[in-house]
Structure 1
């Protein structure tokens, strides 16, 4: 066997190992900086090998543990409920669009695509949800607006149904006397695990990282999600930094606050659950995104 052939696989494996390590280094750096002593960062900068470990940033953040726990609970509820509802509605919309015999199929597809290009504007959008649907200071305001249905996800799932699910499966169900609903539940959805997992991951990321809806619709502290709470904390720290030069009291308070490490600690608090959840979706992610991306 030629030497080049024998070296090819080990080199490919080495490349992907190095690529994986390079991908993990930023997360490792963020975590290490979050537990580094503040003075050490001021003197030596960011480093993967800190001279002194200090958990002051996490202690500072978890002084108000009750608020953080409530915000985490709100985020988990909105993410869980929103992801399930969004995947269900997306599938119920995408499957009929994938069927050639659907009346007005092209018109519905055009209207769906139209929403990706144009919107009604922020003011009418906000007034509609607040005055007509009464979503001010409710959990639904962090589930429905902008997040519950994505035209891109519908088109992706429609392409998966049209190109991956054989028409013979639908025909066999029809011959056996199954209704459209039964065909969808018993035959189509069990074969659509890759695209369902992919859309679920997209929705999970969208709901978990959303802070914009919370900023617009939520005034009560008990209903704030974790992303908006962290945004407010970060803005408060930034405000103290800007005012420290003009106020001796703010400067004294700032000197005791881990301003650099607190930013990294906030990032870790926000991203850690996603790092835990992602491996469960990875098995289906690639096949779902590639199959659904084929033009139907």
Structure 2
């Protein structure tokens, strides 16, 4: 659209054409004049800041910091800038926009500048805005989107060498808490799916999760998804959420399994599924067996060479699965 083009053009122009102080004035004015309740305006400004960061990342970060300082006095109130009669800003809407703005800056800025700024201020500010908010569904989704954007930007850098993402465990803790807070008997938003996708992206960055940490992530994620009731056939939106949640769980477990691709790692993963495979509920058994089968297939495809199981390991695997061949539930059999 015409307006979208203007935001994009403005971002490109500010990235290359003006002195930093003039760019600061223009960007700050843009932040103040944006109607954050309008999806198009908000997304346009976010894109503009990202594009501008290609050539003016320090300036962009300074402007965001300046803006945050100026609105901080009213941050505790429900409305930020409530003195604006045309469109007062809802606090959570602004925080949501700022989080994604920081992650958009990460997506577009020069790789070397990203490594310099990604932990602080970029990720630190994303964490701040999330932690100091009411954490409604929209904000949770914006946070997960930001994490994925930042981690993708880091992963896309060719010469990462030994870069350690210092904020990784803080982000992981927030995401785990979010997954735990999701109801295990109902599915009303894509939050848990986005959270598992964020964990999948984080798992690819150093410092890598320990075996214990990986097992905890998998255990919490399994518990969040496997107890969900299959949605009614006529409810397409919930069906999509349900399918996406199962897929995100598969992807997360698959990614974490790749870090310990040996019989011990396989056995630990199977152990996490054991209580669900032995569940009294048909739906839980079916989902657990499907997940178990998927991971076994990935394991066999990935190892390339045959790593012999230790004495007792094969028997344990067979002993767990064998009774399921007589399961009363046809799909589990």
Give TM class, smaller chain: under 0.3
Q: Pick the structure with greater CA Rg.
A: 1
Structure ranking higher in helix proportion: 1
Give the TM-score normalised by the residue count of structure 1: 0.25
